Amino acid sequence: MNVTLEKNGNVSGVITVSLEEKDYQEKVNKDLKAIGQKHPLDGFRPGKVPAGLLKKKFGKQVLADVINRETIDALFKYIEDQKLSILGEPLAVETQEVDFDKKDFTFQFEVGLAPEINVELNKDITIPYYKIKVDDDMVKRQDEAFTRRFGSQVPGEEVDATALVKGSVAELNEDGSVKEGGISTNTIVSMEYLGGSEENKKFFGKKVGEKVVFNPSVAANNNAAEVASMLNIEKAEAENVKANFEMTISEIIVLKLAEKNQEYFDNVFGKDVVKDEAEYTEKLREMIATQLMLDSNYRFTIDAQEALMAKVGEMELPVEFLKKWLVRTNEKITDENVNEEFEKMLPAAKWQLVKEQVAKNCGVKVDDEDLKREAKMLAAQQFAQYGMTNVPEEYIEKYAEDFLKNKEYRQRLIEKAVDNKLFAAVKEAVNIEEKEVSVEEFNNLFKA
């Protein structure tokens, strides 16, 4: 067997795999024998089928299978042994024909080769790192969110913006009279749900026993499912409900904000983590700073990528090969749209090459501990989205294990771990220009 590479440029070439009869005949005989042992033919017991008959009946198919297997194995072994960095996958030259009556075979494969990339990280490279200031408004909003979350619902004297209003509703005619045979039911209306509608203002200040005229369809932004839930009717019926309703209030429940005592502090941050309001406020600042650091780190990945790509400059790619590979391997890409699709993919493809080289130069490797740490961070973030900042460690561990068992999540965690270690290495190696900015200034970076 002979395998060679003939370059037809800096980043493309053709790999030729040549086989002689001695390279495959023994394997063909072995496969034919296995067929005879497993598949009896008429008049012969398993294992007793004559070799000539097996060859006559199965010879060409087995030969084709063995030739294909040996060729592909030789191709990828050559790529591995020669340490070739290929882009996409080898493509069989389409014009070659195979005559299985011959004894020697030659196959050719087009390959795209990755360009040589030299990315030397040093302090001559300056990359900005934007640190977002934690202002008093952020602390105030977070404090309000926690006092609401750990607050309690209590009977209220009048309707406010937090109230749940219970009562009976009745459909009205256009003149404001109660419609005979119209919709009537008991319901609960949430003022926070109506917060985006002018309808909620009609309820403010009302007391038990008083009446309110409002339009459920307007209040629900014409969402039939929400109207159906509010009026206890079917969605199909709710789609035609446009009339006003009169609600007689029977009960008002309002939100009482949590008192800032030790029980509250323990609920927010864990037992005895903070002891007074000053420590609580400082802990809020730390928590917000940690959350904002994720945004700062994300921005750093963008700026670092731009800086490294600028340092690499133009790179030569096997453009025609890659377009041909895209058309052959993606049914949504055709000769007509390949140029457009290729241009969309090009920036990400170039960055992937640079990233792989940087990771290699920096010795970036990901192990099980890295994946577990990423999984726990993901679990904690998901809990935090629901305002759960004080989740016991055993729950974090359980969710992290579930993420790692999920194939899709695991792949995402691997990519995240690689990126985190990669950009940490970049941050260590280059010159960092730290800049403190407001949230508004930080957001404007993305508008630019």
Examine the pLDDT at 215 and tell me if it is beyond 90. yes
In the prediction, which pLDDT does 62 show?
83
Examine the pLDDT at 286 and tell me if it is beyond 90. yes
Kindly state whether residue 121 falls inside one of the protein's structural domains: no
In the prediction, which pLDDT does 64 show?
87
Examine the pLDDT at 53 and tell me if it is beyond 90. no
Rounding to the nearest 10 degrees, give the CA dihedral for residues 272, 273, 279, 283. -150
| 303 and 430 both lie in a single domain | yes
Average pLDDT, the chain: 90
Kindly state whether residue 434 falls inside one of the protein's structural domains: yes
pLDDT band at 39 (very low <50, low <70, confident <90, very high): low
In the prediction, which pLDDT does 50 show?
65
Residue ranges making up the domain that contains 437: 126-138+275-447
Examine the pLDDT at 35 and tell me if it is beyond 80. no
The more confidently predicted of residues 116 and 95 is 116
pLDDT band at 392 (very low <50, low <70, confident <90, very high): confident
Q: Is 227 helix (H, G, I), strand (E, B) or coil?
A: helix
| 339 and 394 both lie in a single domain | yes
| 324 and 428 both lie in a single domain | yes
User: How distant is the alpha carbon of residue 316 from its chain centre?
Assistant: 30
Give which of 39, 35, 26, 42 is closest to 61, Cα–Cα: 35
In the prediction, which pLDDT does 195 show?
66
Kindly state whether residue 250 falls inside one of the protein's structural domains: yes
| 379 and 401 both lie in a single domain | yes
pLDDT tens per residue, range 376-386: 988 888 887 77
| 291 and 420 both lie in a single domain | yes
Please compute, for residue 20, the number of CA atoms within 13 A of its CA located in the half-sphere on the CB side: 3
Give which of 152, 147, 154, 184 is closest to 169, Cα–Cα: 184
Domain containing residue 218: CATH number? 3.10.50.30
Spatial separation of the C-alpha atoms in residues 142 and 154, rounded to whole Å: 23
Q: Is 342 helix (H, G, I), strand (E, B) or coil?
A: helix
Examine the pLDDT at 302 and tell me if it is beyond 80. yes
In the prediction, which pLDDT does 252 show?
97
Which residues, 6 or more positions from 399, have their beta carbon under 8 angstroms from its beta carbon?
375, 379, 382, 383
The more confidently predicted of residues 1 and 95 is 1
For residue 153, give both structure tokens: 């619902």
| 130 and 159 both lie in a single domain | no
Kindly state whether residue 269 falls inside one of the protein's structural domains: no
Q: Is 387 helix (H, G, I), strand (E, B) or coil?
A: coil
Q: Which among 42-51, 122-131, 394-403 has the top mean pLDDT?
A: 122-131
In the prediction, which pLDDT does 31 show?
84
DSSP, residue by residue, 1-57: -EEEEEESSSSEEEEEEEE-HHHHHHHHHHHHHHHHHHS--TT--TT-S-HHHHHHH
| Angle at 434 (CA atoms; ends 429, 439), nearest 5 degrees | 135
Enter the DSSP assignment of 259.
P
Kindly state whether residue 265 falls inside one of the protein's structural domains: no
pLDDT tens per residue, range 401-443: 999 999 888 999 999 999 999 999 999 999 999 999 999 999 9
Examine the pLDDT at 127 and tell me if it is beyond 90. yes
pLDDT tens per residue, range 54-113: 677 777 888 888 999 999 999 999 999 999 999 999 999 987 777 877 889 999 999 999
pLDDT tens per residue, range 226-243: 999 999 999 999 999 999
Residue 358: CB atoms within 10 A of its CB come to: 22
Number of domains within the chain = 3
In the prediction, which pLDDT does 48 show?
60
pLDDT tens per residue, range 173-195: 999 999 999 999 999 999 988 76
Kindly state whether residue 176 falls inside one of the protein's structural domains: yes
Domain containing residue 108: CATH number? 3.30.70.1050
| 303 and 361 both lie in a single domain | yes
End-to-end CA distance of the chain: 58
pLDDT tens per residue, range 317-326: 999 999 999 9
For residues 230-259, b (16+ Cβ closer than 10 Å) or e, as one string? Answer: bbeeeeeebeebeebbbbebeebbbbebbe
Enter the DSSP assignment of 176.
S
